[in-house]
Amino acid sequence: MDLKKSVTEENLQKALTLELHAHFGYITAARAARNAGYDLVSDIFYQTALNELEHATHEFNFLGGDKDVVENLVTAIEHENEATAFYRASSLQAEKEGFHDIAEFFTRIGIVEEGHSAKFREILHDLENNIPLKGRTVKHSALTMAELMLPAQANPAGFVHGGELMKMMDNAAGVAAARHSHTNVVTVLVNDIHFIHPVMVGSLVLINAHITYVRRSSMEVRVEVETEHISEEKRVKALTAYYTMVAVDEQGRPVEVPPLTVYTEEEIRLFKEGQERYEARKQQQK
Ligand SMILES: [Fe+2]
Ligand SMILES: [Fe+2]
């Protein structure tokens, strides 16, 4: 029997929806359990969530699996347009019913969905016209590095030297910039460095780096340092800074880098802030 239009096909569709719903439910349950201090319960919820996603993947594959890129883009545009219209109408309805904050939220999400649609249309247009796709996303180069703090990195009272931390931050910023540019990079500027919380010897340090702003050959990287007290499973933000890296060729001359494709509200906000910092510096140099 052909799977198309069979009851089994219908059941696969239902199962896929159920599994995806369960996945999201268990992720939120895991977070709630973690916040309530039940680490084991949280880990089990999280593991179950991953398991449900695996079930969903099998069902998706039975239903035909991956489609081609153009087909996926066309479906995505339709979906995002529907979502935009839905959020617009829902916002009006929420306003009518007096739920102002929900109305405002729906309006905001509607705008984001419209942005998703625009991005997909742009990609589809370029693909169909054989225009090479340019740019890399923030996620493409973002990374976390981890290191255990040893006595040689600290003073006799056990505080890790700021310089040690800045060296690790510089490394992480360099990797993010090199991942984005595929070139050698050099540090040209460190700014807005904030020491928020001391880092003690014996703690695990996590260095998160992601690109916020890209100019022709320079890349601004936000670096956030967290310190984890391993036995307490507690993480605290210790340090933040912005590193500006420049892409250079083998002779040390600046080279052009791919543009940064910013996508989420947060990425757009950070990009604007990076641009403002860049322009303020240019003004000062005049
Ligand atoms: Fe399942
Ligand atoms: Fe969307």
Tokens for 78, please give them: 């339709």
How far does residue 51's CA lie from ligand 1's centre (Å)?
7
- 122 and 46, same structural domain? no
How far does residue 63's CA lie from ligand 1's centre (Å)?
16
Residue with tokens 């993010």: 176
How far does residue 45's CA lie from ligand 1's centre (Å)?
12
- 149 and 267, same structural domain? yes
- 80 and 48, same structural domain? no
Task: State yes or no: pLDDT of 197 exceeds 90.
Answer: yes
- Domain total for the chain? 3
Task: State yes or no: pLDDT of 91 exceeds 90.
Answer: yes
Angle between helices 69-96 and 100-128 in degrees, nearest 10:
160
- 275 and 183, same structural domain? yes
- 219 and 111, same structural domain? no
- 175 and 120, same structural domain? no
Tens digit of pLDDT for each residue in 32-52? 999 999 999 999 999 999 999
How far does residue 41's CA lie from ligand 1's centre (Å)?
18
Residue 225 in any domain: the answer is: yes
- 149 and 97, same structural domain? no
How far does residue 111's CA lie from ligand 2's centre (Å)?
10
Residue 261 in any domain: the answer is: yes
Q: Which ligand is nearest to the CA of 81?
A: 2
Tokens for 241, please give them: 């800074």
Find, among 144, 171, 161, 166, the residue nearest to 235 by Cα: 144
Identify the pLDDT of residue 254.
Answer: 96
How far does residue 9's CA lie from ligand 1's centre (Å)?
17
- 275 and 154, same structural domain? yes
Find, among 209, 278, 268, the residue nearest to 241 by Cα: 209
* Helix and strand counts by DSSP (H, E) for the chain: 7, 7
Confidence band (pLDDT; 50, 70, 90) for 263?
A: confident
How far does residue 55's CA lie from ligand 1's centre (Å)?
5
Q: Which ligand is nearest to the CA of 26?
A: 1
Task: State yes or no: pLDDT of 286 exceeds 90.
Answer: no
Query: How far, in Å, CA of 113 to CA of 253, rounded?
Result: 40
Choose one of 62, 85, 106: the last residue of a domain: 62
Residue 122 in any domain: the answer is: yes
Residue 1 in any domain: the answer is: no
Tokens for 143, please give them: 């990374």
How far does residue 75's CA lie from ligand 1's centre (Å)?
26
How far does residue 27's CA lie from ligand 2's centre (Å)?
20
How far does residue 52's CA lie from ligand 1's centre (Å)?
4
Query: How far, in Å, CA of 246 to CA of 264, rounded?
Result: 25
- 257 and 175, same structural domain? yes
How far does residue 15's CA lie from ligand 1's centre (Å)?
8
Q: Is 239 exposed, middle or buried (0-12, 13-18, 19+ CB in 10 A)?
A: buried
Residue 2 in any domain: the answer is: no
Residue 73 in any domain: the answer is: yes
Task: State yes or no: pLDDT of 285 exceeds 90.
Answer: no
For residue 250, the domain's CATH number is 3.10.129.10
Tokens for 31, please give them: 């977070």
How far does residue 19's CA lie from ligand 1's centre (Å)?
6
Q: Which ligand is nearest to the CA of 80?
A: 2
Q: Distance between terminal CA atoms of the chain?
A: 76
How far does residue 81's CA lie from ligand 2's centre (Å)?
9
Query: How far, in Å, CA of 252 to CA of 39, rounded?
Result: 50
Residue 234 in any domain: the answer is: yes
**3-class SS of residue 218:** strand
Provide the whole-model pTM: 0.82
- 103 and 221, same structural domain? no
What are the Cα distances from residue 144, in Å, to 206, 249, 280? 6, 26, 29
Domain that holds residue 23: 7-62
- 212 and 187, same structural domain? yes
How far does residue 116's CA lie from ligand 2's centre (Å)?
5
What are the Cα distances from residue 254, in Å, to 77, 178, 219, 286? 38, 13, 12, 21
Backbone phi and psi for residue 87, each to the nearest 5 degrees, phi listed first: -65, -35
Q: Which ligand is nearest to the CA of 77?
A: 2
How far does residue 112's CA lie from ligand 2's centre (Å)?
7
Query: How far, in Å, CA of 87 to CA of 107, rounded?
Result: 6
- 123 and 147, same structural domain? no
How far does residue 237's CA lie from ligand 1's centre (Å)?
36
Mean pLDDT of 50-58: 97
Query: How far, in Å, CA of 15 to CA of 2, rounded?
Result: 19
Confidence band (pLDDT; 50, 70, 90) for 129?
A: very high
Confidence band (pLDDT; 50, 70, 90) for 92?
A: very high
Task: State yes or no: pLDDT of 234 exceeds 90.
Answer: no
Mean pLDDT of 184-197: 94
Confidence band (pLDDT; 50, 70, 90) for 194?
A: very high
Query: How far, in Å, CA of 30 to CA of 41, rounded?
Result: 7
Percent of the chain having pLDDT more than 70? 100
What are the Cα distances from residue 8, in Å, to 2, 4, 154, 160, 243? 10, 9, 63, 61, 55
Confidence band (pLDDT; 50, 70, 90) for 265?
A: confident
Q: Which ligand is nearest to the CA of 111?
A: 2
Identify the pLDDT of residue 236.
Answer: 95
For residue 21, the domain's CATH number is 1.20.1260.10
Choose one of 21, 44, 62: the last residue of a domain: 62
Choose one of 62, 84, 104: the last residue of a domain: 62
